[in-house]
Amino acid sequence: MKERVRKVFAGLDPSVDRLVVANSVEPHLDQSFFYLFDVPSGLFEGSVAVAHRDGSLDVLTTPLEAQSAEEAAKRDRAVKVHTVDRDSADPVIAQLLEGPGPVALNFTELTHAWYLRLDKLLPKASWVDASVALRKARATKDADEIARLRRAAEIGSKVGVEIPSMLRAGITELELASEIEYRMNRLGASGRSFGTIVGFGPHGAEPHYQPDGTPLRPGQSIVCDYGAFYRRYASDITRSFRFGPRDAELKEAHETVERAQRAALDAIRPGVPARDVHLAAAAVIDGSKFKGRLIHGVGHSIGLAVHDGWYYGPKIDDPLEEGMVFTVEPGIYLPGKGGVRIEDDVVVTKAGFEFLSTTPRGYLEVAS
């Protein structure tokens, strides 16, 4: 944890020696809290992390999570846990932040209520934005983070292999989504990393579709986008299938997406502008009969959140760095008919990249 704190401060002005990350109530929990304080269990609503430039960390939490907090702190002597009731936290916060100099806040995640509370506690304080420093620190993962992301992807990959056996006429989108989530939990996931997307037929043409009671019928395409949490770290995998008789156009779309993903993967290596990965995939799709049917960026970072604060598209020139973990997910969407998306989680290595997800990517027709 000490190294993570120092990593964040390396991205801040040297005059800043204090950083506050404050949680509100779910879903307004700042995942940077869990980056700084690596605690695998607990909700930590209303908890606060005060980080210091020397790498030390003060964590204020309620009795609800005191046991988990104390156990996590035993692994790092730089962490001190303060167990306080929510009504008695303010004097401790004020004491930890007293002194001259600016105080950093995570502007993109801090609620307005928390800002007003801190501003009242420290009326003379000057506030600076730490959101960019936090995002950049979280973009490259350490060995433990990669191990958890790998395990989350392994869980998702094993379930991905099983999806074709779950398909049957009449199963609804919601039933298939719940079966995917159940099997991930059976394999050790602590839950889904986002709302599972299952789209039959025309619903597959909407990337962020929410499943409903639509039943599966022969002759439909299927898009399944799902992921697992493992010790707070996420996976995000998409596979596309065909149920019953072949549709030549969707088969061609699937093969085009496969080529697009391969082109994007071939572009990955440290130092490459992130846009090059997107543009490599887009060139394949726009060079086919499906020009213009890639309607989103080709990927996003993944970590404590399934969308971990960074994405890449045609205008993102951030250089890739060793240790970055992100998705590669080109897609083709045909409104009124269906869609194809293939999504994998990868980590950037010295030589290029490594797959974290391993489910087969090829075109697959499932007998109806």
pLDDT by residue (tens digit) across 204-216? Answer: 999 999 999 999 9
Asked whether residue 40 carries a pLDDT value surpassing 80, the answer given is: yes
Residue 36 · residue 5 · CB < 8 Å? yes
Measured CA distances, 286 to 233, 257, 296, 344 (Å): 34, 11, 13, 21
Q: Give me the mean pLDDT over the 122-131 stretch.
A: 93
**AA identity, residue 317:** D
Asked whether residue 246 carries a pLDDT value surpassing 90, the answer given is: no
Q: Choose the weakest-confidence range: 234-238, 284-288, 306-310.
A: 306-310
pLDDT at 79: 93
pLDDT by residue (tens digit) across 169-206? Answer: 999 999 999 999 999 999 999 999 999 999 999 999 99
Is the CA virtual torsion 260, 263, 269, 273 positive or negative?
Answer: negative
Asked whether residue 130 carries a pLDDT value surpassing 80, the answer given is: yes
The whole-angstrom separation of Cα 226 and Cα 39 is 24
What domains appear along the chain, each with residue ranges and CATH number? 2-138 (3.40.350.10), 143-366 (3.90.230.10)
pLDDT at 87: 76
Residue 306 · residue 234 · CB < 8 Å? yes
Q: Give me the mean pLDDT over the 258-281 stretch.
A: 98
The whole-angstrom separation of Cα 321 and Cα 179 is 36
Residue 57 · residue 79 · CB < 8 Å? yes
pLDDT by residue (tens digit) across 294-348? Answer: 999 999 999 999 999 888 989 999 999 999 999 999 999 999 999 999 999 999 9
Average pLDDT over all residues of the chain: 95
* Cβ-based neighbours of 194, under 8 Å, separated by 6 or more: 227, 234, 236, 306
* Cβ-based neighbours of 77, under 8 Å, separated by 6 or more: none
Is the CA virtual torsion 26, 29, 33, 34 positive or negative?
Answer: positive
Report the candidate in 281, 285, 265, 291 with the shortest Cα–Cα distance to residue 353.
265
pLDDT at 365: 87
pLDDT by residue (tens digit) across 61-91? Answer: 999 999 999 988 888 888 999 999 877 899 9
pLDDT at 75: 86
Q: Give me the mean pLDDT over the 232-244 stretch.
A: 96
pTM for this predicted structure: 0.94
The whole-angstrom separation of Cα 162 and Cα 140 is 31
Residue 101 pLDDT class (50, 70, 90 cuts): confident
Q: Give me the mean pLDDT over the 147-167 stretch.
A: 97
pLDDT at 76: 84
Asked whether residue 123 carries a pLDDT value surpassing 80, the answer given is: yes
**AA identity, residue 188:** G
User: What count of other Cβ atoms lies within 10 Å of the Cβ of residue 126?
Assistant: 11
The secondary structure of residue 270, as a DSSP letter, is: T
Residue 349 · residue 326 · CB < 8 Å? no
Asked whether residue 368 carries a pLDDT value surpassing 80, the answer given is: no
Residue 154 pLDDT class (50, 70, 90 cuts): very high
